[in-house]
Structure 1
Amino acid sequence: MQDLVVNNLVLLSAAAIIVLGILSSIAAVRFGAPLLLVFLGIGMLLGEDGPVGLSFDSYIIAYLIGSAALAVILFDGGMRTRLSTIRSVAAPALALSTVGVLVTAFLTGVFAHYVIGFGWIVSFLLGSIVASTDAAAVFFLLKAGGLKLRGKVGPVLETESATNDPMALFLTLALLEFALVSASPNAANPLAGTLVLFFQQFALGALIGTAGGFILVWILSRMPLSGGLLPLFVLAAAIVIFTVSALLNASGFLAVYLAGLVLGNRPVRAFPSLLNFMDSSTWMAQLVMFVMLGLLVTPSKMADYAFTAILIAVFLMLVARPLGVLASLAPFRFTSAETIYVSWVGLRGAVSIFLATLPVLAHLPGAQLFFNLAFVVVLVSLVAQGASLGWTARRLKLALPDTAPAVKRFEIDLPGQQQLELVAYPVEEGCSYLTASYTPVWLKPVFVVRGDEVVSTEQAGPLTPGDYGYFLVPPKKITRLDALFDASATPLKTADFQGFAFNSDVALNALAEEYKFGLPDRYRELTIAQAFAERFGDVLRVGDRLELDTLDLVAVDLDGDTVSRVILELPEEPEWPDRIRPYVARIVAALRIGLRKWRTAKKPNQSPIETGKAAQEEHTQAGKADSARKPAQADKADSA
């Protein structure tokens, strides 16, 4: 009987933790607090140093639960990512997830060795553990702040955050092997297997993830799963892909993200309801994982590591991450503001704490050091960076209003096909559908619920507020339809962008000749509308941009599926060092000329040849100063 009471108390505690976490997430959205920090705080309050005093010290359970939770989070991130978005930012995102992680880990290791005094292997292992960013934390805070980022910043951060974990995991595992060798002289040298491990992590992980995604799509299109079983099957399949990859020494993180990417970009039955289920599953995974990590840590034991961890966190935020981003984005066309913001959005989170459990599981001597340091680094990052992401975006003028519609939508599954979804919307006063001058060609009205009656679209006539409209729509167009029925949406306007506005029937070739920018050959015979259609297909949205040589074209108005108006976005004014450089050169040249005149005056017997050389040098220096000044004046005129 006593055992039954204990079990019921455990069940009650677990349910109460979930309820408390959900309620706290509502408060986090309202007050802009980092969600993951709230969940960590709940775990720490419930832990052995908190008022509840629960004792939890099983790193193997933490590893298993963390693996499953991260698989769910990354799979959901892949499902919500469009391939067209990844294609436009693949190169810089890949550079950030490889070169950026390497540079960040290396610099943090050097700092830990020379400033903190750790050994080289311990220092680099610590740097690898805290080198990757956390996608879930970053995008929850941006969404909670109602922000949408300009340009390529948002897609780059999303893709980098989802793909940099494999590099951090590889570095951690490789350095952990070296640490075990140094701790045990009889252990085998891991040098020979390090390169093989690297290719296994990336190549095999990509292969398993892509194949698993296509197999999952094939099963969903042929198996008559009921609406309730379908999302559960997809969730379990994602964890299967993750664990199979891990068993084969491949990157489960990369595999499960790519599987979600394949699934999200293929026609799948009941996809909107599947997304809703994955959204709830992702929140639950974050809640369970971070509450568990909060339970695992003992705050009283972290006091000895707090000062050291804060030093590492500050160096990571202000030096290591910015230099890693600068090294990664240098070959690409990013403005100073974009580079600064990508540097600041180096939020540490779940993966860093998860990786810090690996030395403990490997029984590395002194492994508790890594977990305590990583935990404090994550706390500092969530507090310092997490609370300022929206403010920083606005200060750097990279923030746009969030145009994601907050609309009620109801989906009805149509078994036997994946090309159309049956959706319903409540018609509210002020929604764009009531005032639209056209009906999209891909939208097929089915019937209308008006009052207590169900009437055909012919009998109902135009929709009125209070109606419920039912439509057949392709799955990829549902987000576009959401915007038409959102009465509270604030659409992007031309005033939200800086540049010159053009209608989409203008030929790109003529625009390139007028504004002197390079144009790829495939665009030379196309209009602006045709170029956007070729680049984005049927997933075009307001704010999408066509990247050209030195300028960008931004879609600011749509007519159905076609862009109708664009902005030719102007380049930013040069930063202050570029503006003052010509004046500094002029002052230096004047000082040199004055110094030569003074030296000439000290030499009364100077020959005519020497006098001529001095005059020629004066003329040359003055010409250089004028040349340096003219571009600055030209830039100023262009800006005006």
Structure 2
Amino acid sequence: MSAFLTVFACVLLLAVLLSSLAHRTILSTAALFLVAGFMLGDGVLGVVSISAADEAVGMLAELALFAVLFTDGMRLGWAELRSAWRLPGRALGWGLPLTLVITALGAHYLIGLGWIESLLIGAILAPTDPVFAAALVGNEKVPPRLRQLLNVESGINDGLALPFVMVFLAVAAGSADLHLGELGLELGLGVLIGVAVPWAAIKLEQTRWFSASTQYEPLNALAIGLLVLALGKATHGNLFLAAFAAGITVATFGRRQRESFEHFGELIAELFKLAALLVFGALITPALLGAVGWRGWLFAVLALVLARPVAIWISFLGSGLSVREQAAVAWFGPKGFASVVYGLIVLGSGIAAADEVFQLVAVTIVLSILLHSSTDIVVARWFDDEREVPAWYGAAGRVRARLRGKEPDGDGSP
């Protein structure tokens, strides 16, 4: 553990020092942690020795996903969802299940996995991660509806994919171990805790007897999250649905709590994300990358360039989005943190196909992180009409730029 903490601290410091450069270029902080984990893990240098069976791995995955789902849910109150539902609704209502099914078809027919394991892989790889589309979402020259679509979709689909992952994982564990009533109770209890605890805490603070000081306001939502986590653990309610429901509840009923916690919560979630990516990278070895064979790598490529693009194309027929906007949405279906943690959960589940599922998920995520994190700025520039006209562009280009008001005339006026 001391070796892991030392490595994490060093890589984190390096990531902080390079963060400004990464924001302007194709460098990716997430890719840095993934590559660092791979290089320092048992498969290469052996500095960090981590096994999927280690209790710390499961605990980190659990806490990381809880933190991320809590902060994701907090970005999306019901008011925001109602006002911006038309396009994200297509991506979530049609795009997510279609991506799941198309990915599952590839795993079944190309790899030869059983249907339940294939559907499990589809559910793990269906969510998208906004981190790898940061340059697109944060670029004001990109149409607002496109930025909103990607932001809302990636903020919600982690939580929507979770029940599918849990159900398919329970079925894959064997019919003897599957009790649908217990599973339904676990999921329902998680949602109940996630709604009731934040609502009661916020209403309590709104009474005349209680009020949080400015100094302690950021800790309000943190306390709510910790209480949801503790009650979920004690009652065996589903922690992840509880976290997502709690975040949405805080965003809906506690505007002040949401605003005070926003920056603090994102930093906490980011730390957990990076730590989980380091662990994930350490579990990926050269032997694992080679064990999937050409079919595994072909599956990973098709999962990125076929499954989501086809699903998005079908989902957005008649939506009014331009071809360029649809292409951007179709390409930016990056597999990121949620898929990493779902993969770690499956690896530690003990199901018969755990290793094979994890291997396929791992190579797809690795490929996605490398491709999507290095192309977000490139795709964002498709929408950048404000760029300088290069010298080699010629007189015609300069005339067009002048007519658009982008280049000054000889007297210095636009």
Q: Structure 2-normalised TM-score?
A: 0.78
Alpha-carbon distance, 1:110 to partner? 1.5
1:131 maps to 2:126: yes
**Distance change >3 Å, CA 334–CA 28, structure 1 → 2:** same
What residue number does 1:355 align with?
Answer: 342
What residue number does 1:213 align with?
Answer: 198
2:158 equivalent among 162, 165, 179: 165
Larger RCO (CA within 8 A; separation ≥ 6) = 2
What residue number does 2:371 align with?
Answer: 384
What residue number does 2:105 align with?
Answer: 110
**Distance change >3 Å, CA 193–CA 342, structure 1 → 2:** same
Relative to its length, the structure with more strand (as a share) is: 1
1:119 maps to 2:114: yes
- Residues 232-257 of structure 1 show CA distances to partners (whole Å, capped at 9, x for unaligned) of 44224224435645776766445434
SS in structure 2 at match of 1:166: helix
What residue number does 1:321 align with?
Answer: 308
Alpha-carbon distance, 1:382 to partner? 1.6
Alpha-carbon distance, 1:349 to partner? 0.7
**Residue 45 of structure 2 aligns to which amino acid in structure 1?**
P
Alpha-carbon distance, 1:279 to partner? 3.3
SS in structure 2 at match of 1:149: coil
Alpha-carbon distance, 1:220 to partner? 4.5
1:176 maps to 2:169: yes
**Distance change >3 Å, CA 110–CA 81, structure 1 → 2:** closer
**Distance change >3 Å, CA 314–CA 266, structure 1 → 2:** same
1:188 equivalent among 171, 176, 200: 176
**Distance change >3 Å, CA 197–CA 155, structure 1 → 2:** farther
What residue number does 2:60 align with?
Answer: 65
1:41 maps to 2:26: no
**Distance change >3 Å, CA 274–CA 394, structure 1 → 2:** same
Alpha-carbon distance, 1:147 to partner? 4.5
Q: Which runs of 5+ in 2 are unaligned?
A: 387-403, 406-414
Contact 1:150 1:400 in 2 (8 A): no
Contact 1:217 1:266 in 2 (8 A): yes
Contact 1:200 1:250 in 2 (8 A): yes
What residue number does 2:267 align with?
Answer: 280
Relative to its length, the structure with more helix (as a share) is: 2
Q: Which runs of 5+ in 1 are unaligned?
A: 1-5, 182-186, 402-494, 497-640
Alpha-carbon distance, 1:57 to partner? 0.7
**Residue 171 of structure 2 aligns to which amino acid in structure 1?**
F
- Residues 441-466 of structure 1 show CA distances to partners (whole Å, capped at 9, x for unaligned) of xxxxxxxxxxxxxxxxxxxxxxxxxx
Q: Distance in 2 between matches of 1:363 and 1:378?
A: 21
Q: What aligned pairs does 1:128-527 form with structure 2 within 5 A after superposition? A: 128-138=123-133, 140-142=134-136, 146-147=139-140, 149-181=142-174, 187-188=175-176, 190=178, 193=180, 201=187, 207-221=192-206, 223-242=210-229, 244=231, 252-264=239-251, 273-305=260-292, 307-330=294-317, 332-395=319-382, 397=383
**Distance change >3 Å, CA 170–CA 280, structure 1 → 2:** closer
Q: Distance in 1 between matches of 2:363 and 2:97?
A: 22
Q: Distance in 2 between matches of 1:360 and 1:86?
A: 34
**Distance change >3 Å, CA 47–CA 261, structure 1 → 2:** same
What residue number does 1:75 align with?
Answer: 70
SS in structure 2 at match of 1:65: helix
1:100 maps to 2:88: no
Q: Percent sequence identity over matched residues?
A: 25
Alpha-carbon distance, 1:81 to partner? 4.2
Aligned length: 385
Q: From the CA coordinates, give the structure whose radius of gyration is larger.
A: 1
Q: Distance in 1 between matches of 2:313 and 2:237?
A: 29
**Distance change >3 Å, CA 375–CA 23, structure 1 → 2:** farther
1:31 maps to 2:25: yes
Contact 1:104 1:324 in 2 (8 A): yes
**Residue 101 of structure 2 aligns to which amino acid in structure 1?**
F
Contact 1:166 1:251 in 2 (8 A): no
